[in-house]
Amino acid sequence: MQPKHPNDSVCIMTDLVLPSETNPLNNLFGGELLARMDRAASIAARRHSRRIVVTASVNHVAFNRVIPLGSVVTVEAKVSRAFKTSMEVYIDVWIEDRESGIRSLANEAIYTFVAVDETGRPTPIDPIVPETDLEKERFEAALRRKQLSLVLAGKMKPNEATELKALFQ
């Protein structure tokens, strides 16, 4: 197993918001943004694992700001933590001001992907070593989020979620 860094997995996708992708208020439709994030995140997960990857869960999505028709939207996805066969991918969504070119954070999301073999069975992946302060912060919190996701999915008993319990002690 060869340790990798979050930057080895980064996937940046920039695209416009077209009329067919908007809601009745002429802002980007939420499902369209979810699909763009899923695509970018799956590429990041694939770059980290070099395996077939599938979306196991969408752990968190915050539609903090509307994204108007015509916006230039950049979706940036990076693996924040690798477990045995699963990976947490953190996604930041930026929009760009037309006149100044300054980018501002519009939304963010966290997805979980699982690396699988040709028969769809989960398969082990390389570990990840965070480098920057932000990567370290996201790495540290990822186990807590994994446990929360598993508890909500009924795949872990709440009393086994040690990281989550530690938050309340």
Ligand X SMILES: CC(C)(COP(=O)(O)OP(=O)(O)OC[C@H]1O[C@@H](n2cnc3c(N)ncnc32)[C@H](O)[C@@H]1OP(=O)(O)O)[C@@H](O)C(=O)NCCC(=O)NCCS
CB-nearest residue to ligand X: 83
Place of tokens 């598993």: 150
Place of tokens 């695209």: 15
Question: Least CB distance from residue 114 to ligand X, whole Å?
Answer: 4
Report the SS3 class of residue 136. Answer: helix
- 22 vs 123, which CB is nearer to ligand X? 123
Which range binds ligand X by CB under 6 A, 73-81, 99-107, 128-136, 147-155? Answer: 147-155
123 binding ligand X? (CB under 6 A): no
Subset of residues 49 to 108 that bind ligand X, contact rule: CB under 6 A:
54-57, 83-86
110 binding ligand X? (CB under 6 A): no
27 binding ligand X? (CB under 6 A): no
127 binding ligand X? (CB under 6 A): no
Where are any strands of DSSP class E within the chain?
11-16, 52-62, 72-82, 86-96, 103-116
Which range binds ligand X by CB under 6 A, 23-31, 48-56, 100-108, 159-167? Answer: 48-56
153 binding ligand X? (CB under 6 A): yes
Give the tokens for residue 120.
């769809």
* Closest C-alpha among 128, 140, 155 to residue 57: 155
Site residue total, ligand X (CB under 6 A): 18
* Closest C-alpha among 77, 100, 107 to residue 13: 77
Q: Where are the alpha helices (DSSP H) in the chain?
A: 30-49, 133-152, 162-167
- Computed over its alpha carbons, how large is the radius of gyration of the chain? 17
What does the binding site for ligand X look like in residue numbers (CB under 6 A)? 54-57, 83-86, 112, 114, 116, 120, 122, 146, 149-150, 153, 155
